[in-house]
């Protein structure tokens, strides 16, 4: 398993291209199954999760080509209504095939996704939506068994205990676009990735009103056409690089970003001490003054995203004062805390809130990657820590960041990837 070695203390300077959004690409790949012909996704990121989704689509009969930032999905052979456990176990987003299976095949057998490093990951809202559209759902031996002769539109809410659900909104929307009659989805997610999916489906011939609002009104159609679609930029990768530039007191310009997708992230990074200039498709980050403490709660869009919580925590760990970060989406999403404390941070978690007491410095140490964003936070910590940080199991990072070490190194970071058995670093 690959590792990263990072030597801290080098300010990041230069420009860095931001890749297409992982969390837009994955549902878009599944949505291509709904179409009568091939679709081409451009600006697609080169990620492990994209490769995994390609394997899932191939397993259900589609043919998928992933090459040079393009994902081509030809759904002609899509006829197998099963997604096996070993794939769903690897990536929760595999369950995005449920909606297209019900819409086009009338049945589905998909393994129940388990929990993961960020906590329990229920899918009750997905199933609520499918049942509202007329599907019969059973859970047997760890599998979701669903069948429906013909999906019929209806009016229902997908809001759950933590508010809206991105996954449930995407999955149920993909079923509703080919259902009979009108569907109204209330409590829908507003994230840019959902708006991008609606854009793709509308271009394919779907009739959807309310993009970007919590109420989606869909008039079912009989068929959809494949087409070319450009994936939106990854707002979480962008936030991660903004945090890196601020943390190292560098001067970094992000290219190929959509600032409108990053409202609260930009606000919070400025509150913690970053200076951020918005340009046409660009964001420039510098920092002159000290890092300041913040009090923040993660919220569904347009609130501060849970996927940026770990990265912000690294900035808070070096702020002048105490910060609090409260998770309203995943109350247990603090696996990064123990690793940051190994590097000298002073963080305590009680219930769903982390209290971060700012310290003078972090020190390099061997740490373990786990949750994707927790792992990105460890890279950030390594950039600023004194000495060398070794990050194990970086495949977690490769799931959601396109060659992060190359992008960071191009900005002046002293970071390198070591394959299995390569030289250890003596501490």
Sites of contact with ligand EPZ (CB under 6 A): 22-23, 26, 92-93, 121-126, 160-162, 165-168, 305-307, 329-330, 372-373, 400
Q: What is the CA radius of gyration of the chain?
A: 22
Q: Sign (positive/negative) of CA torsion 253, 257, 258, 263?
A: negative
Q: Sign (positive/negative) of CA torsion 288, 290, 296, 298?
A: positive
The answer to whether residues 283 and 257 touch, using CB atoms and an 8 Å cutoff, is: yes
Cβ-based nearer residue to ligand EPZ, 123 or 388: 123
Cross-strand pairs, 233: 20
Tokens, residue 318: 């070096």
Residue 124 has a CB neighbour count (10 Å cut-off) of: 11
Q: How far is the CB of 306 from ligand EPZ (least distance, A)?
A: 5
Q: What is the DSSP letter of 422?
A: P
Cβ-Cβ contacts under 8 Å for 286 (sequence gap 6 or more): 245, 246, 249, 250, 251, 252, 274, 275
Q: How far is the CB of 128 from ligand EPZ (least distance, A)?
A: 7
Q: How far is the CB of 17 from ligand EPZ (least distance, A)?
A: 19
Q: How far is the CB of 419 from ligand EPZ (least distance, A)?
A: 25
Cβ-based nearer residue to ligand EPZ, 195 or 388: 195
Task: List the beta strands (DSSP E) in 159-245.
Answer: 182-186, 207-209, 215-219, 228-230
Cβ-based nearer residue to ligand EPZ, 112 or 413: 112
Q: What is the DSSP letter of 163?
A: B
Per the annotation, the verdict on 316 as an active-site residue is: no
Short-list 160, 179, 197, 31, CA closest to 106: 179
Residue 256 φ/ψ, nearest 5 degrees: 75, 30
**End-to-end Cα, the chain, rounded Å:** 20
User: Which residue number has the CB closest to ligand EPZ?
Assistant: 167
Q: How far is the CB of 126 from ligand EPZ (least distance, A)?
A: 5
Tokens, residue 82: 């099963």
Task: Kindly name the residue from 35, 107, 116, 316 that is annotated as catalytic.
Answer: 116
Q: How far is the CB of 191 from ligand EPZ (least distance, A)?
A: 7
Cross-strand pairs, 128: none
Short-list 241, 315, 254, 248, CA closest to 284: 254
Q: How far is the CB of 121 from ligand EPZ (least distance, A)?
A: 6
Q: What separation in angstroms does the CA of 189 have from each of 46, 113, 116, 271?
A: 26, 20, 22, 26
Cβ-based nearer residue to ligand EPZ, 3 or 22: 22
Cβ-based nearer residue to ligand EPZ, 167 or 233: 167
Task: Give Dmax over CA atoms of the chain in angstroms.
Answer: 66
Cβ-based nearer residue to ligand EPZ, 21 or 365: 21
Cβ-based nearer residue to ligand EPZ, 48 or 407: 48
Active-site annotation, residues:
116
């Amino acid at each position: 398993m690959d590792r990263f070695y990072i030597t801290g203390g080098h300010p990041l300077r230069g420009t860095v291209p931001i890749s297409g959004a992982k969390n837009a690409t994955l549902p878009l790949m599944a949505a291509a199954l709904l179409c009568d012909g091939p679709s081409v996704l451009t600006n697609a990121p080169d990620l492990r999760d994209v490769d995994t989704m390609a394997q899932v689509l191939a397993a259900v009969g589609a043919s998928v080509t992933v090459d040079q930032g393009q994902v081509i999905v030809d759904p002609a052979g899509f006829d197998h209504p099963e997604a096996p456990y070993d794939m769903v176990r690897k990536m929760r987003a595999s369950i995005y095939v449920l909606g297209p299976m019900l819409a086009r095949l009338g049945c589905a057998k998909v393994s129940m996704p388990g929990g993961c490093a960020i906590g329990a990951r229920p899918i009750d809202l997905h199933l609520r939506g499918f049942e509202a559209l007329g599907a019969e759902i059973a859970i047997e031996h760890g599998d979701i068994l669903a069948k429906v002769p013909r999906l019929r539109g209806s009016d229902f809410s997908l809001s759950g205990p933590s508010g809206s659900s991105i996954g449930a909104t995407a999955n149920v929307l993909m079923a509703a676009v080919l259902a009979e009659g009108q569907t109204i989805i209330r409590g829908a997610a507003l994230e840019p990735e959902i708006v991008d999916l609606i854009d793709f489906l509308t271009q394919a011939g779907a009739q959807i009103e309310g993009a970007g609002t919590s109420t989606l009104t869909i008039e079912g159609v009989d068929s959809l056409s494949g087409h070319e679609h450009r994936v939106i930029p990854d707002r979480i990768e962008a936030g991660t690089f903004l945090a890196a530039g601020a943390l190292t007191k560098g001067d970094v310009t992000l290219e190929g970003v959509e600032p409108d997708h990053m409202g609260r992230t930009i606000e919070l990074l400025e509150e913690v001490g970053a200076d951020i200039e918005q340009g046409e498709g660009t964001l420039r980050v510098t920092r002159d003054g000290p890092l300041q403490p913040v009090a923040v709660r993660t919220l569904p869009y347009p609130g501060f995203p849970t996927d940026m919580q770990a990265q912000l925590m690294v900035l808070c760990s070096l702020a002048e004062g105490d910060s609090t970060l409260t998770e309203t989406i995943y109350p247990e999403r603090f696996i990064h805390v123990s690793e940051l404390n190994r590097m000298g941070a002073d963080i305590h978690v009680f219930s769903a809130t982390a209290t971060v007491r700012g310290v003078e410095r972090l020190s390099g140490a061997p740490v373990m990657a786990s949750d994707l964003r927790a792992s990105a936070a460890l890279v950030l910590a390594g950039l600023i820590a004194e000495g060398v940080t070794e990050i194990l199991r970086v495949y977690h990072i490769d799931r959601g960041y396109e060659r992060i070490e190359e992008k960071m190194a191009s900005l002046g970071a002293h970071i390198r990837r070591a394959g299995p058995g390569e030289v250890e670093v003596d501490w």
